[in-house]
């Protein structure tokens, strides 16, 4: 589990979220209110909003040697939108006492790659991702010698 989680409030502008995703090279941000997970927002939630994006500053997509230039920046957002407008509400969550097996099963069954982890007070404690599960398996594998 990753304990230091980047979070935003539901009222945050999506341009800020986009910047955080890029700056920290992460694929999801947990939306919280009073330290309780309300939703989750990913790059995939933002990209479909391309109707609200101004790719070249003039409302048209930029051509780059015959291919679309899809590099977006914070300045590309022309319509103010907040996290609550596009977040996935009521994210699947898991308790911090849950096993890696339970987390992996939930990810597979729900086709997701990260789950917010909560403590006994329902407050955000961290996030578990596919990368965390792979690390755990690798660490166990290192201890088992043939």
Q: Give me the pLDDT at residue 142, please.
A: 64
Q: Looking at residue 21, what is its pLDDT?
A: 92
Cα separation, 75 vs 3, in Å, equals: 31
Please return the burial class of 141, using the count of CB atoms within 10 Å of its CB with bins 0-12, 13-18 and 19+: exposed
The pLDDT value recorded for residue 18 is: 86
Provide the mean pLDDT of the chain: 82
pLDDT at 106: 97
Q: Can you tell me whether residue 115 is helix, strand or coil?
A: strand
In a domain, 119, yes or no: yes
The CA–CA distances, whole Å, from 133 to 3, 40, 54, 144 equal 14, 20, 38, 17
CATH number, domain with residue 62: 3.10.580.10
pTM over 0.85: no
Q: Is 1 within the bounds of a domain? A: no
For 35, residues 6+ apart whose C-beta sits below 8 A from its C-beta are: 123, 124
Q: Is residue 53 part of a domain?
A: yes
Provide the number of structural domains found in the chain.
1
- Please tell me the predicted confidence (pLDDT) of residue 134: 92
- 29 is in which domain, residue-wise? 7-143
pLDDT at 61: 46
pLDDT at 44 (0 to 100): 83
Structural domain contains residue 118: yes
pLDDT at residue 43, as a whole number: 84
Question: Is residue 49 a contact partner of residue 14, using CB atoms and an 8 Å limit?
Answer: yes
In a domain, 124, yes or no: yes
- Residue 86 counted as domain residue: yes
Residues with pLDDT less than 50, the chain: 51-73, 146
Considering the domain boundaries, does residue 136 fall inside one?
yes
| Domain contains 2 | no
pLDDT at 66: 41
């Amino acid at each position: 589990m990753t304990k230091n989680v980047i979070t935003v409030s539901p009222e945050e502008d999506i341009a800020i979220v986009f910047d955080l995703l890029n700056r920290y090279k992460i694929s999801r941000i947990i939306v919280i209110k009073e330290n309780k997970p309300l939703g989750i927002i990913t790059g995939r939630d933002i990209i479909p909003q391309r109707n609200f994006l101004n790719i070249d500053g003039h409302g048209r997509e930029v051509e780059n040697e015959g291919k679309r230039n899809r590099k977006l920046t914070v300045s590309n957002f022309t319509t103010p939108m907040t996290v609550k407008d596009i977040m996935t509400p009521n994210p699947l969550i898991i308790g911090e006492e849950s096993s890696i097996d339970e987390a992996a099963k939930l990810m597979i069954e729900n086709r997701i790659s990260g789950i917010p982890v909560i403590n006994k007070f329902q407050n955000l404690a961290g996030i578990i991702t596919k990368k965390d599960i792979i690390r755990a398996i690798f660490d166990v594998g290192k201890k088992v010698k043939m």
